[in-house]
Amino acid sequence: MNNYDIRLATYDDLDILDDIFRGARAYMRKLGNADQWKAYPLLEDIERDIRTGLCMVLVNRKGTPDAGEIEGVFFAQNFPEPTYDKIDGKWVDDEQSYITIHRIASRGRKQGISDAAFAWCKERADSVRVDTHRLNVPMIRAIERNGFTYCGIIIIADGTPRLAYQWVKK
């Protein structure tokens, strides 16, 4: 059951989002994935995400414990992702427009953050793409659990490979 409402992030959310990403980086390092985000995203990256209107936060629903508190964050991009132009593999559907989901992170207090973020994107598009580091096992599990198909390897701007996935509405 999804206990989250999703809304646009605001500048008032900046400190908690910075804390969430700091915690997510520490969690990934603890799991042996020290390379995925390193110091990214920086505060200015989060500010840019908010300014562009594509940074979404998941807040606890009214009537639930901690109602209104932010539990997670993601970036939903509704325009083509340049790093997806070249893939060592094949997209499920390379013709239709898609939403790309980036930078999913959780406070670590509750479950279902990625599931809720994926569901939100699926409600708004017939195709959703996502990529992750090969050592980000929790995210790989979440991606696969949510019906995404592994499509191949893409190379992101810093030159590192990522596992690329796509979900297409049937």
The residue ranges of every structural domain in the chain are: 4-168
Tokens of 19: 């804390």
Q: What percent of the chain has pLDDT over 90?
A: 69
Query: Could you tell me which CATH number the domain at 4-168 has?
Result: 3.40.630.30
Query: Is 1 a residue whose pLDDT tops 60?
Result: no
Q: What is the pLDDT of residues 9-26, one digit of tens each?
A: 999 999 999 999 888 788
Q: What is the pLDDT of residues 87-108, one digit of tens each?
A: 999 999 999 999 999 989 999 8
Tokens of 124: 């708004």
Q: Rounded CA gap, 96 and 4, in Å?
A: 29
